[in-house]
Amino acid sequence: MTTNQQAFDTARALIPGGVNSPVRAFGSVGGTPAAMVKASGPYLTDIEGKTYVDLVGSWGPMLLGHNHPAVVDAVHTAVDAGLSFGTSTPSEARLAGLIADIMPVERVRFVSTGTEATMTAIRLARGATGRNLIIKFAGCYHGHSDGLLAAAGSGLATHALPDSAGVPEAITSQTLVVPYNDEDAIKEAFETYPDQIAGIITESAPANMGVVPPNPGFNTFLRDITTKHGAVLIMDEVLTGFRATAQGGWGLDNVDWAPDLFTFGKVIGGGLPVASVAGTAAVMDLLAPTGPVYQAGTLSGNPIAMAAGYATLSNATDDVYATIAQRSTQLQTMVSEALSAEGVNHSIQHAGSLFSVTFGTADTPVVDYATAQSQEAFRYGPFFHAMLDNGVYLAPSVFEAWFVSAAHDDQAMNIIADALTAAAKAAAAATA
């Protein structure tokens, strides 16, 4: 039998760091990554044959659970018809129509990754306004395109600095990085750079620094100030879309406005590589071939991915979302009670069904990246490994959301409950 360590050693000899996305390497929690080979319902199975309750869900797409029969059948049917055509297919318009039925968008352009979607949205914002500067928030992740791998400068409204080797400062200087939930910082940016800001990109409910909900009215403020200054509002729903609620993070606000552009991903592909930029016809029709803003992709709108996405969304019924919401609330309570029983200072951050745990923050509200970073992150590694040892797979970073699916039944929840007892003790005993 091949062990997880052997699988990781083989991968490291061929793949940088042994992984194709950095968080998978267990860098922040230590230990050897589990190499998964099978999934079903709420469970994952690794190469050693050990089964885990999965609370990652492929980072969100597995809304219905792994290997849902309707999704698998749709993929098999699509595969039988051909893997890829390099042409338009009816399945593209079918999935676009379903998205437009659920969300307030008029046009949808499919791409293969969330990075492509956000990169295209920013290009559209610049093309629509003739301006260069983009505002983003510290701690919000919008993919790894150069202009978005930006760290805050020395002041609230200064040009950003590269956050990665290989990113030219000339590119990140077109990005202004400001604290999340800080309306004054946004106002200052527009006052400092009048008629220069093309748009704001924001996660509708940030979930890449842990879950950090927007303050009441914050997203509406972003809509109002971008409208006032003729800038484009981009709401990144790659992670939250069709996941936090049926209408994503935008659906949490119960508002009568919409951003100019959304970016979607994850759930709309049902586990296959799909993302999209979507929004008003006025902005979206600037894309080639109808407009001057260029974007293209050889595998964009792949028919197998379209089938998986359509099957996932069309089976995401009200009952599915009700089950996920109920299980999420149940899990949040279980986690908090277990940690409290061991005297572990913590808080639970949530946005719809998405949530995360922050350690040492019971008396310090987590409202932005700085407060998220100030937590007692050293407690998470022992907590994570205790959960893993007891059959529960969590995200291998404290700065990630927890995901449940409609397939998480009583049996799965009982396994989680049992694991939490040991995990809470491990978190309590952890030292910096």
Instruction: Report the distance separating Cα 44 and Cα 246, nearest Å.
Output: 25
Both tokens assigned to 425: 């003790």
Cβ-contact 58, 401 below 8 angstroms: no
User: Which of 130, 135, 131 has its CA nearest to residue 150?
Assistant: 135
Burial call 212-246: b when 16+ CB within 10 Å, e when fewer: bbbeeebbebbbebbeebebbbbbbbbbbbbbbbb
Alpha carbon separation from 254 to 211, 219, 258, 261 (Å, rounded): 19, 11, 11, 18
Instruction: Report the distance separating Cα 249 and Cα 240, nearest Å.
Output: 6
Both tokens assigned to 226: 């971008």
Phi/psi of residue 136, nearest 5 degrees = -130, 170
List beta partners, residue 359. Answer: 346
Both tokens assigned to 63: 């809304």
The residues annotated with a catalytic role in the active site are: 141, 236, 266
Phi/psi of residue 181, nearest 5 degrees = 65, 15
Residue type, 29: V
Instruction: Report the distance separating Cα 241 and Cα 185, nearest Å.
Output: 26
Cβ-contact 240, 351 below 8 angstroms: yes
Cβ-contact 119, 238 below 8 angstroms: no
List beta partners, residue 272. Answer: 270
Both tokens assigned to 166: 């290989």
Instruction: Report the distance separating Cα 241 and Cα 247, nearest Å.
Output: 6
